[in-house]
Structure 1
Amino acid sequence: MGVQPMQRARSRKAKLEREDSILTATDVLLRQTGYDSMTMQAVATVAGLAKGTLYLYFTSRESLVLAVHGRLFDRWIDRFAVHQPELDGFNGFCRDFARHYADDPLFLQLAGFANALLEPQLDREAYIKSKRGMALRVKRLAGLVCQRFFIAPTAAQKLIWGFLTIAGGTAQITVRPSFDKVDLPSDVIAFTGLANFETVFVNAAAPLGVNLKLLKLR
């Protein structure tokens, strides 16, 4: 017996709860089947909605996946904001950033292609919503940098943009294959072992430390 579609949400609270259930269903499917196999029909089925109702909330698969990425991003910032730094200085901040960024495999996977490949396919309204969401996240992260290194908010935002650009690129080149790495040749295993997310990110972010020193001297 199939899942019976839920009735259309009426109140703002009900709509927010419905949207959250859609994002949760999408999150589950992305972890189980991956982006390429995820369909709007599958999301509607898992969420207990008619497919037409799903499109009232998200007009495309791209906007839906970007919304999931945004929710994971916000949750990552929440965790990163309250964690106790393990290391001091700029290098320590880079390592903390990388370790927490790579905690969730789905977040890391989406970070590698969400904005670069999906965002250009959005309609105008979804594009504006996506950019405003990212602006708020950059502002939150910049606030953490201000507290840690005592630099101006504008400078902190520039530093965060550098971090996020490096993180997105690092996520792309360190993506894990879907098959067992044991099947790979030994030289490829050795190379991928060196090219883990934290190592690549910290090395790539090192020059930003020079900029930070210059900013603190001004």
Structure 2
Amino acid sequence: MYSFTGVLGLRARSDEAKRRRRQEILATADQLLRANGLDKFTMNKLATACGLAKGTLYLYFATREELMLNLYINLNEAWIERFLAVERRSNSADYEGICIRFYKSFTVDELLVEFAALAACTLEPHVPQIAWIAAKKSQGKIAKRLGGMFCQKLKCQPAAAQRLAWAFIAGLSGAQQRAIDVGGRADLPADLLQLSGFMSSRDVFLNLVLPLAPFLRKQDTTP
């Protein structure tokens, strides 16, 4: 049984109570999704797990996509904080090492990876504008936090660090969209199978960000 005592009972009234209720609902959704997978997740099941009527659930999230986008925001922000915490403890400023650690840290959470592939094309077009704005603001906050780390570790100018941060974020999106994943199938053309061997999501991401190293070296020589 997936339920949170705080979710049960009467509908929240104050703004703070509503905020807490939304987070409790998201926490329950997180558990359901990890236990049963995205394909089996429904708002009916979530309402039951929360001890709420389905209509009450929709007072907090207007659509299934809005709920998932909000959960994606939470997971994304939690991931970047974990990554930055590790980088703060590390003395390594090797650019390639940062690229690899960044990608590896992202792929630790399979639900985050799954949401990242859906966010732009499947989730964002089906949410209220206020939810879309919140998602974009969150993305901007992540870029700012990441840029600050680049500025400190790689000794690049703030503007260059921000451009690099956005390149990393775009690189993750590109890796989700452009990777060739054959899913273990063998009944495909030999050249495609061969190409899939070096076009994984990791390969695509590194192919996008590693060539930016000369750009960083150029920044070092800029007066």
Tell me what 2:169 maps to. Answer: 164
Distance 2:102 2:85 in 1: 12
Q: Does structure 1 conserve the Cα–Cα contact (< 8 Å) formed by 2:147 and 2:165? A: yes
- In the superposition, the TM-score normalised over structure 2's length comes to 0.82
1:185 aligns with 2:186: yes
How much has 1:62 moved relative to structure 2? Answer: 1.3
In the alignment, residue 205 of structure 2 is paired with which amino acid?
A: F
- Alpha carbons of structure 1 residues 216 and 119: separation in structure 2 relative to 1, 3 Å: farther
In the alignment, residue 220 of structure 2 is paired with which amino acid?
A: K
Higher deviation after alignment, 12-21 or 136-145: 12-21
Tell me what 2:130 maps to. Answer: 125
Match of 1:55 among 55, 58, 62: 58
Higher deviation after alignment, 81-90 or 142-151: 81-90
In the alignment, residue 214 of structure 2 is paired with which amino acid?
A: V
Alignment gaps of 5+ in structure 1: none
Secondary structure (helix, strand or coil) at the match of 2:40 reads coil
- Alpha carbons of structure 1 residues 6 and 79: separation in structure 2 relative to 1, 3 Å: same
Higher deviation after alignment, 40-49 or 68-77: 40-49
Deviations 1:57-79 (A, max 9, x none): 11111111111111111111111
Distance 2:52 2:150 in 1: 42
Distance 1:107 1:161 in 2: 18
Tell me what 1:6 maps to. Answer: 9
Distance 1:215 1:37 in 2: 49
1:113 aligns with 2:114: no
How much has 1:156 moved relative to structure 2? Answer: 1.5
1:25 aligns with 2:6: no
Distance 1:120 1:65 in 2: 12
Tell me what 2:150 maps to. Answer: 145
Match of 1:204 among 198, 201, 208: 208
Q: Does structure 1 conserve the Cα–Cα contact (< 8 Å) formed by 2:180 and 2:199? A: no
Alignment gaps of 5+ in structure 2: none
Distance 1:125 1:213 in 2: 40
1:44 aligns with 2:42: no
Tell me what 2:78 maps to. Answer: 75
- In the superposition, the TM-score normalised over structure 1's length comes to 0.83
Distance 1:196 1:61 in 2: 30
When the two chains are superposed, the root-mean-square deviation of aligned CA atoms in Å is 2.7
How much has 1:159 moved relative to structure 2? Answer: 0.9
Q: How many residues align?
A: 212
Distance 2:51 2:125 in 1: 29
